[in-house]
Structure 1
Amino acid sequence: MGALWGLPVPLPDQPLPLSPSRPDTAFVWFLNPLKSIKYLICTRYKWLIIKIVLALLGLLLLALFLYSLPGYMVKKLLGA
């Protein structure tokens, strides 16, 4: 026997092919938890994290400026 309308027809003496048994849910996230955490955090809070990092960098620059300001003011006043 051949194919009928492009579909293969099983011969009478061959067993019917069974579909592979697959679980209902995927457990790939369980095997690689860091990747799943990165996906969850980066997709939801990407722009918030970028804004927080930029704000912290700005505050760090301001703190360094205020920390070094008195020393440079004294040098400027004393002409050193």
Structure 2
Amino acid sequence: MGIFGNALSGWHLVAIVLVVLVLFGATKLPIFAKGLGQSIKIFRKEMTDVQDDIAKDRKERSAEHLDRETVTTPDSAQTRRASEDR
């Protein structure tokens, strides 16, 4: 059950669609549908661009990680000696 219970059945939805057709008219609906289709197309394109950017960044980061040199930390005794010399 939704908010309205069983108030919105199949016939009610058909009536709502007919009211929308009468209000907007047959000439406005194709324009609306075209705009909606273009919006969906742009959204999908942007989503693929973002996914491509993420994949590119991951690839670059993994390549940078492989190019790094191994860094060794100084021994604790050497660190003490260096601080004692100051």
Band of TM-score, shorter chain: 0.3 to 0.5
Q: Which has the higher helix share?
A: 2
Greater Rg over alpha carbons, structure: 1
TM-score, normalization: structure 1? 0.44
TM-score, normalization: structure 2? 0.41
